[in-house]
């Protein structure tokens, strides 16, 4: 293949095939980036345009130390991007993975996390500000961040009392994945999801180890708000959860291994995991419950006690660079509220209904509410459900 | 009988063998096995955080073992001379320290230290001569893990060494005293050689416990990452063959150590025999 | 006068020798336990954590974790029992039957697993019990739809695997000390091998059995990793409930009460066990005479 063809557009199927050949190691990174055209920018960065992204960043970063620690979620980053950051800046990235905002909050409350960057979800940020666990961002140190390119409703939760505490990472939905080879019926609602869990798919269903989504979608069974803190409504949800508990395969926010091995047939799931699973195993589908559920946006933020502040800013700035960000999306499949980045995505991704669901499905979704994070009853119901 | 023994060893070593085989995975994911390559070994050796975790664990386990052995032995020696209620209290403490589950120790230590630090740190900041900015902030880290590990292990050393002291020939000590040896000399030349095997056993047990402990460190290590914490978080991150490489290396090192210790002992025994 | 001074300085030395351990006991055992005891009568702060109060609410709420307690109190003794049953024959083989040369090597092989990470040994079973492990093999021989991972069985397998070596060793040590002439004598007196075992070997190896099973039982009561890795959040031990309360729902007072409850139950269980063993041994001593 001549280099001239490298940036020619390719079909979704070809793209995915190439991605897999690349992931399996049968083609080189360069070949993959070239053929797909996806990472054209990365290729350019490496060769033709010094000073724009690569070396420029390294220079601006100066000496940021040899490490930076990030707390994020499962299957939510591109190892190649992280490797590229390390190569340019000299800072290795220590990654910890969490399955719920509560877990991150608990760690920060206990202190001594050593995190430089973490990834909170929209509804948690005001609480972090109240508890004085997070620091306002110095936007002059994030030149790649430009508010005007972002979708307004996904950027707003990052600003509390007029100060920017967090910049958007990705947005997405919470629905469920199901394996069509194993499940014959065609659930389209949360009611059907929970009924299947007790019936046809008994002992093959997973739910998140995360109160917001697990309790929230159980509330949806009864048509209540995803964010309800009403004791009676939560009582109904708990009853449902306890009924389902013996039928579950597992309670875990990383459901990809279970779904891939065939142990689990269905799971509450986020956009990107749905896309990643569907990409590798077309029989796995991602469905949004018709009653609604969660729409969310995640952010990059810096904890109050971050030990490596320079490295934290350098990492965030690197990751929100549209080109880097696009390569990130290519791997994890979560949409980005940054129009510059979306413009770089291949059409196959922007047309993908998992990433960009139909408007009427999106309309039914709710943002998580801040009160759910600290509501003692929701916390206790989740804990009781797990210990049951 | 022999067949049964073979079956047990198969049960014990089958899973370990599986991990060793999987560490030679050439693929990118641990879930699917592609034979065979050592590429993950290269990656592992270059992994700064893993090496640091290993260093942290060695430092923590080494310090814990030294502290626990010295303190535990001192206490065991002193306890020979303690009778009455004090002795009862001491024995109770020792057994409670052993019996209380690690997870309770971890949680209680975390809660107590965090509460104490919250009270002490503002005081330090207010009183520090160089001003609030210069004041040191107490926090979780090496010291808290070592301290928490030392609690359990020193109790273990007390029990082991005391058992040995009880079985010891006391007439030698009396004879030594009669010959006007100083207590220190008696200890060095008579007592220590006799209790040495127990002290050594206590040291090894302490080291092994501390090196392999996950749950206490999980709560009180703060931002420090010990090897078990690193392995746990790499399992959560999505298992890569790297985890298997680490396991294989740990296994390799312990096998080498044990076998060389065996050979050394055999050679010594042989030398002693020929004398 | 000389003598008195000697005693006084002797006491000084004793006190000095006990000083570090005393400090440790006070600061790292008594103080933390007192703190969680105090906390267990408090309230959860609005955003999670602890807030001072005096209430028995946390203790009254303990039944909400009943399942975690019953899981622990069934699987821990059961796991201990299976470990005993599996370890004893091997320990017997090593102590009585195995030849000197192999013995050392076989003993080393029992120790090696201790020196491999406990976490990794446990997680190996995620492969083996997962959908692509044993269930897939069973499918080949026609047994379909077996699910092992995330069940109490999986946790039990993990427990036995993890703690078996710990049980073998003490039993071996006590059997090793056993005077083999006693066995011969018993045989010469016409006792059947079974009777010899029941009346001579077993009672003499009792100390090892007690030590081993106490050790395993104590560790199992606080187990967190095995249920976390092989139970998939479905088989909860008290340890898992505790981690959940401190690192997820941030209910420190309730977590403290659960921890105190666990310690109390363990103390009672151990006391009962020791009392039972003590009586048994006393009876055996009599029958031996």
Q: How many domains does chain A have?
A: 2
Nearest C-alpha in A relative to B221: A112
Domain boundaries, chain B: 2-250
Please give the distance of CA B240 from its chain centroid, rounded to a whole number: 27
- What 8-state DSSP symbol labels residue C191? -
Task: Provide the pLDDT for residue C221.
Answer: 95
Residues of chain A neighbouring B223 (CB-CB closer than 8 A): 69, 112-115, 307
Q: What angle do CA A216, A219, A223 make, to 5 degrees?
A: 125
Average pLDDT for chain B = 87
Task: Provide the pLDDT for residue C9.
Answer: 57
Range scoring the smallest mean pLDDT among B167-171, C19-23, C88-92, C247-251: B167-171
Cα distance between residue A113 and residue B228, in whole Å: 17
Residue C253 in any domain: the answer is yes
Query: pTM to 2 decimals?
Result: 0.88
Residue C142 shares a structural domain with residue C4: no
Tens digits of residue pLDDT in A268-300: 999 999 999 999 999 999 999 999 999 999 999
Token pair for C114: 């201790």
Range C279-285 contact pairs with CB under 8 angstroms and sequence separation of 24 or more: C280/C206, C281/C203, C281/C206, C284/C203, C284/C206, C285/C203
Q: C: neighbours with 3+ CB pairs under 8 Å?
A: A, B
- Measure Cα distances from C50 to B115, B117, C260 in Å: 10, 15, 16
Q: How many CA atoms lie within 13 A of B252 on its CB side?
A: 9
Closest CA of chain A from B132, distance in Å: 16
Residue C139 in any domain: the answer is yes
The answer to whether residues C44 and C51 touch, using CB atoms and an 8 Å cutoff, is yes
* Option in B112, B208, B251 nearest C31 (CB): B112
Task: Provide the pLDDT for residue B166.
Answer: 86
Q: At residue A159, what are phi and psi to the nearest 5 degrees?
A: -105, 125
The answer to whether residues B67 and B202 touch, using CB atoms and an 8 Å cutoff, is no
DSSP chain B: -HHHHHHHHHHHHHHHHHHHHHTT--SS-SSS------HHHHHHHT-HHHHHHHHHHHHHHHHHHHHHHHHHHHHHHHHTT--SHHHHHHHHHHHHHHHS-HHHHHHHHHHHHHHHHHHHHHHHHHH-TT-TTTS----SSHHHHHHHHHHHHHHHHHHHHHHHHHTS-HHHHHHHHHTT--HHHHIIIIIHHHHHHHHHHHHHHHHHHHHH--HHHHHH-TT---HHHHHHHHHHT---HHHHHHHHHHHHHHHHHHHHHHHHHHHHHHHHHH-
Residues of chain B neighbouring A97 (CB-CB closer than 8 A): 233, 236-238
CB within 8 Å: C131 and A106: no
Q: Percent of chain C, pLDDT > 90?
A: 56
Give per-residue burial for A233-263: e unless 16+ CB within 10 Å, then b. Answer: bbebbbebbeebbebbbbbbbbbbbbbbbbb
Tens digits of residue pLDDT in B248-273: 888 888 788 877 877 777 777 666 55
Q: A: neighbours with 3+ CB pairs under 8 Å?
A: B, C
Res. C289: pLDDT tops 50: no
The maximal CA–CA distance of chain A, rounded, in angstroms, is 66
Indicate the angle between helix axes A322-332 and A271-280, nearest 10 degrees: 60
Assign a CATH topology to domain B2-250: MetI-like fold (1.10.3720)
- Measure Cα distances from B208 to A134, B95, B109, B164 in Å: 38, 20, 21, 21
- Strand (E) or helix (H) holding A388: none
Residues of chain C neighbouring B29 (CB-CB closer than 8 A): none
Closest CA of chain C from B2, distance in Å: 8
Chain C CB within 8 Å of residue B241 CB: no
CATH code, domain with A216: 3.40.190.10
Tens digits of residue pLDDT in B105-130: 999 999 999 999 989 988 988 888 87
Task: Provide the pLDDT for residue A75.
Answer: 92
Residue C50 shares a structural domain with residue C9: no
Give residue ranges of A with CB < 8 Å to any B CB.
Answer: 23-25, 66-67, 69, 74-75, 92, 94-97, 110-115, 254, 256-257, 260-261, 307
Residues of chain A neighbouring C48 (CB-CB closer than 8 A): 105-106, 109, 374, 379
Cα distance between residue A269 and residue B126, in whole Å: 49
Residue A142 shares a structural domain with residue A229: no
Of A31, A18, A33, the C-alpha closest to A327 is A33
CATH code, domain with C238: 1.10.3720.10
Of A288, A170, A174, the C-alpha closest to A227 is A174
Residues 75-134 in B contacting A (C-alpha not used; CB under 8 Å): 110, 114, 117
Residue A149 shares a structural domain with residue A286: no
Choice between B27 and C139, residue whose per-residue pLDDT is larger = C139
Residue C67 in any domain: the answer is yes
Task: Provide the pLDDT for residue B175.
Answer: 84
Q: How many CA atoms lie within 13 A of B262 on its CB side?
A: 17
Task: Provide the pLDDT for residue C96.
Answer: 86
Residue C35 in any domain: the answer is no
CB within 8 Å: A376 and C67: no
- Domain containing A266 equals 172-295+358-387
Residue A233 shares a structural domain with residue A309: no
Residues of chain C neighbouring B148 (CB-CB closer than 8 A): 28
When pLDDT is averaged across residues C262-268 and rounded to a whole number, the result is 94
Residue A193 shares a structural domain with residue A305: no
- For chain A, list residues with pLDDT below 50: 1-9, 15, 23, 25, 30, 32-61
| Backbone conformation region of residue B112, classed left if phi is above 0, alpha if psi is from -120 to 50, else beta | alpha
Q: What angle do CA C47, C51, C55 make, to 5 degrees?
A: 120
Cα distance between residue A254 and residue C157, in whole Å: 23
Q: How many domains does chain C have?
A: 2
Res. C3: pLDDT tops 60: no
* Option in C68, C131, C247 nearest A106 (CB): C247
Choice between C86 and B267, residue whose per-residue pLDDT is larger = C86
Cα distance between residue B223 and residue B229, in whole Å: 11
Residue A235 shares a structural domain with residue A366: yes
* Option in C48, C130, C249 nearest A263 (CB): C130
Q: How many CA atoms lie within 13 A of A181 on its CB side?
A: 10
- Domain containing C261 equals 40-288
Average pLDDT for chain C = 88
Residue A10 shares a structural domain with residue A79: yes
Q: Which of the residues C32, C45, C69, C101 would you substitute to probe the B interface, choosing the one with the greatest number of B C-beta atoms within 10 Å?
A: C32
Choice between A283 and B139, residue whose per-residue pLDDT is larger = A283
Task: Provide the pLDDT for residue A18.
Answer: 53
Residues of chain A neighbouring B238 (CB-CB closer than 8 A): 74-75, 97, 254, 256-257
């Amino acid at each position: 293949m001549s280099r001239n063809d490298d940036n020619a557009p390719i079909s979704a199927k070809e793209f995915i095939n190439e991605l897999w050949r690349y992931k399996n190691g049968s083609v080189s990174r360069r070949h993959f980036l070239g053929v797909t055209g996806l990472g054209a920018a990365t290729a350019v960065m490496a060769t033709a345009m010094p000073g724009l992204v690569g070396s420029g960043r390294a220079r601006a970063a100066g000496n940021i130390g040899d490490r930076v620690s990030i707390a994020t979620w499962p299957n939510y980053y591109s190892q190649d991007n992280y490797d590229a950051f390390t190569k340019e800046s000299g800072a290795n990235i220590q990654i910890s993975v969490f399955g719920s905002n509560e877990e991150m909050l608990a760690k920060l409350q206990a202190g001594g996390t050593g995190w430089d960057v973490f990834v909170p979800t929209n509804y948690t940020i005001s609480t972090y500000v109240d508890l004085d666990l997070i620091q306002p961002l110095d936007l002059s140190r994030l030149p790649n961040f430009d508010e005007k390119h972002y979708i307004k409703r996904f950027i707003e939760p990052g600003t509390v009392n007029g100060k920017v505490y967090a910049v958007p990472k990705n947005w997405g939905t919470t629905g469920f994945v199901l394996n069509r080879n194993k499940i014959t019926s065609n659930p389209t609602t949360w009611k059907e999801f929970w009924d299947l869990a007790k019936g046809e798919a008994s002992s093959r269903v997973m739910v998140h180890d995360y109160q917001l989504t697990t309790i929230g979608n159980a509330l949806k069974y009864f048509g209540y708000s995803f964010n309800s803190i009403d004791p009676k409504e939560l009582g109904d949800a708990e009853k449902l959860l306890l009924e389902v508990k013996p039928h579950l395969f597992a309670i875990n926010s990383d459901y990809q291994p279970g779904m891939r091995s065939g142990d689990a047939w269905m799971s509450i799931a986020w956009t990107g995991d749905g896309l990643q699973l569907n990409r590798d195993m077309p029989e796995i589908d991602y469905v949004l419950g018709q009653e609604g559920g969660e729409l969310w946006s995640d952010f990059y933020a810096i904890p109050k006690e971050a030990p490596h502040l320079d490295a934290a800013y350098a990492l965030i700035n690197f990751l929100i660079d549209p080109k880097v960000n696009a390569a990130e999306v290519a791997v994890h499949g979560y949409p980005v509220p940054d129009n510059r980045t979306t413009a770089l995505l291949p059409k196959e991704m922007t047309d993908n209904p998992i990433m960009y669901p139909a408007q009427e499905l999106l309309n039914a979704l709710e943002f998580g509410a801040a009160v759910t994070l600290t509501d003692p009853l929701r916390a206790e119901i989740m804990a009781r459900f797990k210990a049951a | 009988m022999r067949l049964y023994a073979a079956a047990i060893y198969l049960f014990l070593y089958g899973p370990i063998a599986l991990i060793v085989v999987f560490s030679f995975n050439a693929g990118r994911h641990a879930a699917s096995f592609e034979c065979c390559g050592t590429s993950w070994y290269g990656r592992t050796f270059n992994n700064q955080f893993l090496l640091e975790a290993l260093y942290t664990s060695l430092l923590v386990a080494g310090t814990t073992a030294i502290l626990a052995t010295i303190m535990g032995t001192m206490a065991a020696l002193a306890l020979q001379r303690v009778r009455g209620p004090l002795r009862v209290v001491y024995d109770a403490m020792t057994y409670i320290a052993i019996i209380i589950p690690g997870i309770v120790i971890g949680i209680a230590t975390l809660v107590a230290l965090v509460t104490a630090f919250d009270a002490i740190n503002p005081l330090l900041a207010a009183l520090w001569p160089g001003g609030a900015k210069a004041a040191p902030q107490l926090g979780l880290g090496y010291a808290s893990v070592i301290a928490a590990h030392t609690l359990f292990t020193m109790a273990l050393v007390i029990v082991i060494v005391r058992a040995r002291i009880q079985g010891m020939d006391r007439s030698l000590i009396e004879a030594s005293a009669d010959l006007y040896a100083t207590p220190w000399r008696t200890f060095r030349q008579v007592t220590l050689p006799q209790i040495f095997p127990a002290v050594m056993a206590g040291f090894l047990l302490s080291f092994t416990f501390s090196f392999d402990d996950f749950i206490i460190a999980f709560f009180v290590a703060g931002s420090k990452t010990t090897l078990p914490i690193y392995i746990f978080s790499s399992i959560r991150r999505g298992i890569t063959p790297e985890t298997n490489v680490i396991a294989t290396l740990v296994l390799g090192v312990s096998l080498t150590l044990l076998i060389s210790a065996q050979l050394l002992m055999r050679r010594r025994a042989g030398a002693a025999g020929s004398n | 006068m000389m003598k008195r001074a000697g005693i006084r300085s002797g006491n000084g030395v004793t006190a000095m020798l006990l000083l570090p351990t005393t400090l440790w006991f006070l600061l790292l055992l008594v103080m933390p336990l007192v703190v969680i005891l105090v906390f267990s009568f408090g309230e959860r702060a609005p955003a999670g954590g602890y807030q001072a109060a005096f209430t028995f609410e946390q203790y009254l709420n303990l039944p909400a974790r009943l399942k975690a307690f019953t899981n622990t109190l069934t699987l821990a003794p059961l796991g201990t029992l299976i470990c005993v049953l599996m370890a004893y024959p091997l320990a017997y083989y090593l102590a009585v039957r195995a030849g000197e040369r192999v013995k050392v090597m076989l003993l080393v092989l029992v120790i090696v697993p201790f020196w491999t990470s406990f976490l990794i040994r446990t997680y190996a079973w995620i492969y083996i019990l997962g959908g692509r492990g044993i269930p897939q093999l069973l499918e080949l021989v026609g047994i379909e739809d077996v699910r092992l991972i995330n069940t109490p069985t999986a946790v039990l397998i993990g427990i036995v695997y993890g703690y078996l070596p710990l049980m073998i060793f003490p039993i071996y040590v006590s059997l090793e000390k056993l005077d083999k002439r006693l066995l011969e004598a018993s045989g010469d007196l016409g006792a059947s091998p079974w009777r010899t075992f029941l009346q001579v070997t077993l009672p003499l190896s009792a100390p090892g059995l007690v030590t081993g099973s106490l050790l395993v039982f104590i560790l199992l009561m606080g187990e967190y990793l095995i249920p976390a890795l092989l139970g998939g959040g479905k088989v909860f031990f008290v340890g898992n409930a505790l981690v959940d309360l401190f690192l997820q729902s941030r209910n420190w007072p309730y977590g403290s009460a659960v921890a105190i409850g666990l310690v109390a139950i363990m103390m009672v269980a151990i006391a009962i066990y020791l009392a039972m063993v003590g009586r048994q041994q006393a009876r055996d001593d009599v029958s031996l005479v």
